[in-house]
Amino acid sequence: MPVLPPVPPASLDPYLDATARCFARYGVRRTSVQDVARELGVNRTTVYRQVGTVERQAMLLLIRDAHRLLTSLSGWIDGPVGPRTVVDLMAEVVRRAREHPVLAKVLADEPELIGTYVTRDGAALIELVTGVLRPLLEAAAAAGTIAQRDPGVLAQWLVRTTVSLILTPPPVELEVFLAELLLPALEPQS
């Protein structure tokens, strides 16, 4: 199973924050190492030495922000995981992803980058998030708070649906859209 690379050291946060600001302002393809250096007020050699090329900066930023998202998930859950919790959690992930300044810029101005990323790295990311989600679903099913379903299939389905909704939002309110099928599918049988 794929493992998320380790979170970049906190000492790189100023560089990655500057990268994120440049990506949100100019787009990923139009950002140069010089732009990031100018944003930080340092020489581009310093940026190269610390975080490398723009492509490497993008990967480091993705890894850092993925770690932040995954570690914050448990803080969003207050109480037992039931069908409504799953709906709310998915909706929150979709909203936060769509509000991320870099992803919003890419979706608006560089959507072709999404296709490149999904075909190259998407399966690994889906497997990674599925690996995080599966134990939560197993525990909820064992506790009887959600229906007994194959936790691997359910986790895959939830992650793939979440990715789809991030890329193309539904025509109705997110929670309503998710609840229509998820609540009956996840409701434990008496």
In a domain, 71, yes or no: no
Provide the domain count of the chain. Answer: 2
**Residue 59: which CATH number?**
1.10.10.60
In a domain, 169, yes or no: yes
Predicted confidence band at 109 (pLDDT cuts at 50, 70, 90)? very high
Q: 70, exposed or middle or buried, with CB in 10 Å at 0-12, 13-18, 19+?
A: middle
Q: 9, exposed or middle or buried, with CB in 10 Å at 0-12, 13-18, 19+?
A: exposed
Q: Please check whether residues 88 and 149 belong to one and the same domain.
A: yes
Question: Cα(132)–Cα(155) distance, rounded to whole angstroms?
Answer: 9
Q: Please check whether residues 32 and 97 belong to one and the same domain.
A: no
Q: Find out whether 48 and 40 touch, Cβ atoms under 8 Å.
A: no
* pLDDT (mean) for 113-117: 85
Q: Which domain holds residue 151?
A: 77-190
What's the chain's average pLDDT?
A: 92
* Tens digit of each residue's pLDDT (9 = 90 or more) over 13-38: 999 999 999 999 999 999 999 999 99
Question: Cα(134)–Cα(104) distance, rounded to whole angstroms?
Answer: 28
Predicted confidence band at 2 (pLDDT cuts at 50, 70, 90)? low
Q: Please check whether residues 92 and 129 belong to one and the same domain.
A: yes
Q: Please check whether residues 36 and 58 belong to one and the same domain.
A: yes
9 three-class SS: coil
* Tens digit of each residue's pLDDT (9 = 90 or more) over 92-103: 999 999 999 999
Structure-token pair, residue 151: 């936790």
Nearest C-alpha neighbor of 137 from the set 67, 77, 79, 82:
82
In a domain, 11, yes or no: yes
The residue among 40, 64, 88 that closes a domain is 64
pLDDT at 189: 87
In a domain, 37, yes or no: yes
The residue among 64, 95, 115 that closes a domain is 64
The phi-psi region of residue 27 (left if phi > 0; otherwise alpha if psi is between -120 and 50; otherwise beta) is left
